[in-house]
């Protein structure tokens, strides 16, 4: 594997299998690449195959194993079928990272039913669907890691993001509850709340973001997708076997 991929923490996930939703870009792509670099076989999931191919190509070029699996992550039947087929093909599923997410921002008086429903479906319903399907597989094996990507918006709120903040707060509540339900079966469930991470979306904010970083983020910089991926890698490892129901914030000190 390349030096750039291996420069961070080292975890051996050889022989493990993983599903990463929203793996076509940004944080999801970084997570998929990080798990693959550690030796896991990764199913890269998103609605469209186009960008997923780029993720899988990058993983295989670096010597890892990955597959493209287009799927509507809010479709119950499609999600159940995908998880069951992968579990049968691979002999189980060890890691699920629920990262898929969208934004449709506007102030609450102007927010449409469609914008609310779309964000809740992608950001929260998908986490429920993949968690439910994977939990059945993991409980039988009596091992597993479910890692949900929430957001600081789910902790502190964010004007113009009522739908997004509600969805991410829901992910946090779901994480803490399911962690209690699955702990006796040796399945851990944790959430990560990224703050402002360098991406195409944050680049588009321009000078507004620069001022926010200077005045609101104690670290005085944006986070990197790889820093979130490192936290996922740790939670997926054997070293994190006694960590469950936790919400880990990666935001440079933004939230108290």
**Tens of each residue's pLDDT in the chain, 256 residues:** 444 444 567 899 999 999 999 999 999 999 999 999 999 999 999 998 989 999 999 999 999 999 999 999 999 999 999 999 999 999 999 999 999 999 999 999 999 999 999 999 999 999 999 999 999 999 999 999 999 999 999 999 999 999 999 999 999 999 999 999 999 999 999 999 999 999 876 776 677 778 888 899 999 999 999 999 999 999 999 999 999 999 999 999 999 8
Question: Tell me, what's the pLDDT at 208?
Answer: 75
Residue 23 φ/ψ region, left for φ over 0, alpha for ψ in the -120 to 50 degree band, beta for the rest = alpha
| Per-residue model confidence (pLDDT) at position 207 | 72
Range 10-248: architecture per CATH:
3-Layer(aba) Sandwich (3.40)
Task: Tell me what pLDDT residue 180 has.
Answer: 98
What's residue 5's pLDDT? 45
Question: How many angstroms from the chain centroid is the CA of residue 59?
Answer: 17
What's the 3-state SS for 117-181?
A: HHHHHHHHHHHHHHHHHHHHHHHHHCCEEEEEECCCHHHHCCCCEHHHHHHHHHHHHHHHHHHHH
How many Å apart are CA 237 and CA 235, to the nearest integer? 5
Give the residue from 114, 108, 125 showing the smallest Cα distance to 161.
Answer: 108
pTM recorded for the entire structure:
0.94
128-144 confidence digits (pLDDT tens): 999 999 999 999 999 99
DSSP three-state, residue 3: helix
Spatial CB neighbours of 112, under 8 Å, sequence gap ≥ 6: none
pLDDT digits (tens, 9 = 90+) for 152-162: 999 999 999 99
Active site residue 164: yes
Q: Which pLDDT belongs to residue 204? A: 65
Catalytic residue among 123, 164, 166, 252: 164
The domain locations on the chain are 10-248
């Amino acid at each position: 594997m390349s030096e750039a991929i291996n420069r961070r923490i080292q975890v051996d996930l050889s022989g493990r299998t993983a599903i990463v939703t929203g793996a076509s870009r940004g944080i999801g792509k970084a997570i998929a690449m990080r798990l693959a670099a550690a030796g896991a076989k990764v199913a890269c999931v998103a609605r469209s195959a186009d960008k997923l191919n780029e993720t899988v190509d990058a993983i295989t070029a670096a010597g890892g194993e990955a597959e493209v699996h287009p799927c509507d992550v809010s479709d119950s039947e499609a999600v159940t079928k995908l998880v069951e087929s992968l579990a049968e093909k691979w002999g189980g599923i060890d890691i699920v990272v629920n990262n898929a997410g969208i934004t449709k921002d506007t102030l609450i008086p102007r927010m449409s039913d469609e914008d609310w429903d779309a964000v809740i479906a992608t950001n929260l319903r998908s986490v429920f669907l993949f968690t439910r399907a994977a939990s059945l597989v993991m409980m039988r094996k009596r091992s597993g890691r479910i890692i949900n990507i929430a957001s600081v918006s789910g902790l502190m709120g964010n004007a113009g993001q009522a739908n997004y903040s509600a969805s991410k707060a829901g992910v946090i509540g779901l994480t803490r509850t399911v962690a209690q339900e699955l702990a006796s079966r040796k399945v851990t469930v944790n959430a990560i709340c990224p703050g402002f991470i360098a991406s195409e979306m944050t680049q588009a904010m321009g000078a507004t973001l620069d001022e926010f970083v200077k005045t609101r983020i104690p670290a005085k910089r944006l986070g990197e997708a790889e820093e979130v991926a490192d936290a996922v890698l740790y939670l997926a490892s054997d070293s994190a076997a006694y960590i469950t129901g936790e919400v880990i914030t990666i935001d440079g000190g933004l939230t108290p």
